[in-house]
Amino acid sequence: MAKADVEAIKKAKDGLDVWDDIFRYAKLGYDAIPPDDLQRFRWYGIYPQKPNVGHFMLRVKVPGGDLNVEQLRTIASITRDFARGFADITTRQNFQFHWLTIQDLPTVFERLHAVGLTTTGACGDITRNIAGCPVSGLDPQELYDTRPLIREVTNYFLGNKEFSDLPRKYKIVISGCSIHCAQPQINDVGLQAVRRFHRGKSEVGFHLYVGGGLSTQPHFAKKLDVFIKPEQVLEVCIAVTKIFRDDGYRQRRNHARLKFLVADWGPERFREELIKRLGWTPEPAVPVLEPIGPVQQDHLGVHRQKQADRYWVGTSVLTGRVTDAQLFAAADIAERYCEGNIRTTNQQNLLFPNIKFEDLNAAIQAIQEAGFLVEASEFHKGAVCCTGNEFCNLAITETKHRLREIISYLESRMVWDEPIRIHLNGCPNSCGQHHIGDIGLQGCLARLNDGTQVEAYDVCLGGRLGGDAKFVRPISRKVPADKVKYAIENLLVSFRCTRKEGESFGQWVDRHTNEELAEFLGLHLLAQDDPTWTPPPPRAHAPVEVE
């Protein structure tokens, strides 16, 4: 839908004002829903599901990824009763259902609200789920337990009509994680804890990042020269949101994210406007180096907590898809071993916290019996993907089954003992975050020599966050989907054979030209085995975007 249309729809009726209509349409049926209200449904986490014949996707917000047993059992029951037995963990720590009907929604909402869960603001031009570190309050290395701050900011913006008509979607992360796992560099607003020594004592506050985002035009967030104290976080979030609401672009839908305003203004002007909105001047930022290395890892495996005699177990959930049986089992495990708590992550995984040492072996056994991997391969742990064309109206290619196929093949062919992130996306919009993968796969279509059109992927390399952040470089276009796994195998074998001592995958990619990397993919060899396909020429080398 064109941007001008969406703006007109919002002006005619606020997205939050569609709530009562949802219940009215539940009685009247799907055909009674006008297109404008279908658009407003997003403010309550509801999207029409492909092929748009009466089913919906519903997204449930999980602030900071922090859930209790009653909430997880409710999610499991909805998965079983209305979503055909499966749900997806998303890259914002939410749960997402498919196959719901308009008639299902009143009962689903009643169940969610009874346990303190909501879908309000899960989609739409509004503040989305506020994400954070999944081991907040547990990690001995964290600088600050941000769960109270996430709750405070979430409660302020939840259903707040002063901020329900933003130019586009709006994503906030608040984290005290030492490895920046919440990805402040690619969010509209990132509040990342830092430590300073001030007037003879240690003090923790936050650095403020603004204007990050991926989609078709990725931008790294800009760090403003401010030091924000914990008690100032909510006020700063309100001020930044007001800037976006009042000054953000609304003329073109694909140019309406905060990142475009920040890019045009620059960090200095944005800081000046922030100070005007606040009415006071924050103290300057402190010298802190961004972490370099595997900063996109997800706290997986078995780790000792800051609490005495307590451990968390992080499990790898390939593609984020879980069954109702797994969710019920996870709730039982959380109740028995985890003090009633469980965590979702922004890389589509699940963590079991607060396990006593004496229960650790029994808990791990139960976790594994439920189908969750505690000891997963590096390929498995670093895999992320979007919903794909199974349900998404924008996606060009299927994703969940394809990524499982790729990971299974690589696991069968190689022993890999260092982090490697494969991000697969069904279209250019980057819900699967292919722009920041070591290997980023962007869905497209390719035409074979006989004229047949098949699903394919653009292969992109070298993305990462942290102190040496870069977006991927597109290397080879339109590689048929069934050949991608072989191309990745060829690439990784070449990496092992040609890397310098201590060189990371990203550094290795930086050292080679696009033409050399395309050669490492071995597409010409794959084409020899398949005369129906001729690989396109490699992309010309282009400057790498660095932040």
Does residue 435 belong to any structural domain of this protein? Answer: yes
Q: What are phi and psi of 118, to 5 degrees?
A: -145, 155
Does residue 47 belong to any structural domain of this protein? Answer: no
Report pLDDT for 546: 31
Report pLDDT for 294: 60
Same domain, 200 and 272: yes
d(CA 494, CA 423): 20
**What's the mean pLDDT in 52-61?**
94
DSSP designation for 546: B
Task: For residue 499, name the pLDDT band (cuts at 50, 70, 90).
Answer: very high
Task: For residue 288, name the pLDDT band (cuts at 50, 70, 90).
Answer: confident
Q: Which phi-psi region, left, alpha or beta, contains residue 360 (left: φ > 0; alpha: ψ -120 to 50)?
A: alpha
Same domain, 363 and 393: no
Domain of 396, CATH number, reads 3.30.413.10
**Type of residue numbered 499:** R
Print the domain residue range for 481: 380-529
Does residue 287 belong to any structural domain of this protein? Answer: no
Report pLDDT for 291: 76
Same domain, 319 and 407: no
512-518 long-range contacts (CB < 8 A, ≥24 apart) are: 513/541, 514/473, 514/475, 514/538, 514/539, 514/540, 514/541, 514/542, 515/541, 517/461, 517/473, 517/475, 517/491, 518/475, 518/476
Burial of 200 (0-12, 13-18, 19+ CB in 10 A): exposed
Domain of 359, CATH number, reads 3.30.70.3340
CB atoms within 10 A of CB 500: 8
Does residue 2 belong to any structural domain of this protein? Answer: no
Does residue 504 belong to any structural domain of this protein? Answer: yes
The 10s digit of each residue's pLDDT in 256-274 is 999 999 999 999 999 999 9
Does residue 316 belong to any structural domain of this protein? Answer: yes
Domain boundary among 226, 245, 278: 278
**Type of residue numbered 456:** A
Give Cβ neighbours of residue 528 (< 8 Å, ≥ 6 apart).
none
Same domain, 326 and 214: no
| Pairing relationship of beta strands 439-447 and 301-304 according to DSSP bridges | unpaired
Same domain, 265 and 344: no
Report pLDDT for 3: 41
Report pLDDT for 51: 86
Same domain, 384 and 500: yes
Whether the Cβ atoms of residue 398 and residue 439 lie closer than 8 Å to each other? no
Task: For residue 2, name the pLDDT band (cuts at 50, 70, 90).
Answer: very low
Number of structural domains (the chain) is: 3
Helix (H, G, I), strand (E, B) or coil at 179: coil
Does residue 534 belong to any structural domain of this protein? Answer: no
DSSP 321-334: EEEHHHHHHHHHHH
Domain boundary among 376, 397, 429: 376
CA 49 vs CA 46, 58, 60, 96, 131: distances in Å: 9, 9, 16, 12, 25
Domain boundary among 332, 361, 376: 376
Residue 199 predicted with pLDDT over 90: no
Task: For residue 4, name the pLDDT band (cuts at 50, 70, 90).
Answer: very low
d(CA 239, CA 233): 10
Same domain, 333 and 449: no
Q: What mean pLDDT, rounded, does the chain reach?
A: 94
More confident: 294 or 356: 356
Task: For residue 531, name the pLDDT band (cuts at 50, 70, 90).
Answer: confident
Same domain, 508 and 386: yes
Closest of 365, 340, 384, 417 to residue 66, by C-alpha: 340
Same domain, 421 and 340: no
Same domain, 429 and 509: yes
d(CA 463, CA 440): 8
More confident: 273 or 3: 273
Same domain, 364 and 226: no
Does residue 129 belong to any structural domain of this protein? Answer: no
Report pLDDT for 545: 35
Same domain, 204 and 228: yes
d(CA 286, CA 76): 44
Pair of tokens at residue 464:
């990462």
The 10s digit of each residue's pLDDT in 165-178 is 999 999 999 999 99
